[in-house]
Amino acid sequence: MSVERDTGRGGRIRLVVAYDGSGFHGFARQSGLRTVQGVLEDTISGMLGVPVEVHGSGRTDAGVHARAQVIHFDQAFGPTADRYVHVLSRRLPADIIPVQATEVDSGFHARFSVVRKSYRYSVHKSKIPDVFRYRFTWNVPTALDLTAMRRAANHLVGEHDFTSFCAAAAPQENKIRTLYRFDIEETDDEILFYCEGNGFLQYMVRIMVGTVVDVGLGKFLDTAVPDMLSVRSRASAGRTAPPQGLCLWNVEYPPEYGGKVLDL
């Protein structure tokens, strides 16, 4: 019997992990494919010696990264929460990093207790792609009109039916979401998009970013965005931005569960 099994106790563990999504077929377990959930379940189950089911705050797509993915799982015995980051850092592969672990009550659920999520999308503005950034940014070699892009982004803030800005086959019947924030920041060589909302549909952030970039390239007027929303058809909006620029940035829970899991 391992040290972890001898010295710990049961309970529900909330774990925050960061990962480089480049080597994963998304978060959700898929038979025969390497996924974040699959690696976490296999690692924790192997450590505890019993099957463990991991629940995530949401499903990131293949190639999408996370700074603050939240999971929870129940254990009949195991390390105390304050030991999990140390224990798992020795067992997980280099592209998944345990960041924070706490013990929570049985009322907490990584997905259903979420009140807000935020994503960051990174565009590298350079005529020549950077070999050290290509896995984490979308290279756009053409100059972009940021003023028009910000106007387009503002049209998306608020409560809307986002049918036009999600995958046509998105499984959710209710496509109404509230976007609290869609900010665009510029650095010397990057454009950073920050999206915060009460929930996101499949490909929603990537389609919003792709559409706003298309506005910046002059393919659409920013004034076309309200019409895109009202039509409720995926064909009306712009392109889907590639996955590698997207990162799950933060997750927020009610005050009794600590609010945002990361301070920044």
Task: Report the candidate in 143, 183, 162 with the shortest Cα–Cα distance to residue 225.
Answer: 162
> Residue 207: helix, strand or coil by DSSP?
helix
Q: Rounded mean pLDDT of 77-88?
A: 93
Q: What is the pLDDT of residues 212-234, one digit of tens each?
A: 999 999 999 999 999 999 999 99
Give the pTM.
Answer: 0.93
Domain boundaries, the chain: 3-113, 116-250
Mean pLDDT of the chain: 94
Beta bridge partners of 49: none
pLDDT at residue 218 in the model: 97
| DSSP H or E run through 17 | strand 11-19
Sign of CA dihedral 252, 256, 262, 264: positive
- Of the two residues 172 and 74, the one the predictor is more confident about is 74
Can you tell me the distance from the alpha carbon of 71 to that of 15, in angstroms, rounded to the nearest whole number?
5
Q: How far is CA 251 from CA 81, 105, 118, 196, 246, in A?
A: 19, 18, 6, 9, 15
Residue 189 CA to its chain's centroid (Å): 23
pLDDT at residue 264 in the model: 67
Output the DSSP codes for 119-135.
Answer: EEEEEE--SS--TTTTT
Which residues does the annotation place in the binding site? Answer: 119
**Residues carrying an active site annotation:** 61
* pLDDT of 4 higher than 60: no
Class of CATH domain 116-250? alpha beta
Directed axis angle between helix 36-48 and helix 81-89, to 10°?
Answer: 110
Fold matches, 3-113 and 116-250 = yes
pLDDT at residue 2 in the model: 44
pLDDT at residue 202 in the model: 94
Which residues does the annotation place in the binding site for substrate? Answer: 119
* pLDDT of 155 higher than 60: yes
pLDDT at residue 8 in the model: 57
* pLDDT of 3 higher than 50: no
Q: How far is CA 161 from CA 180, 181, 201, 204, in A?
A: 14, 16, 11, 11
Say if residues 238 and 214 touch (Cβ distance below 8 Å): yes
pLDDT band at 116 (very low <50, low <70, confident <90, very high): very high
Say if residues 86 and 150 touch (Cβ distance below 8 Å): no
Q: What is the pLDDT of residues 131-141, one digit of tens each?
A: 999 999 999 99
pLDDT at residue 203 in the model: 96
- Of the two residues 77 and 55, the one the predictor is more confident about is 55
Q: What is the CATH number of domain 3-113?
A: 3.30.70.580
Neighbours of 88 (CB within 10 A): 20
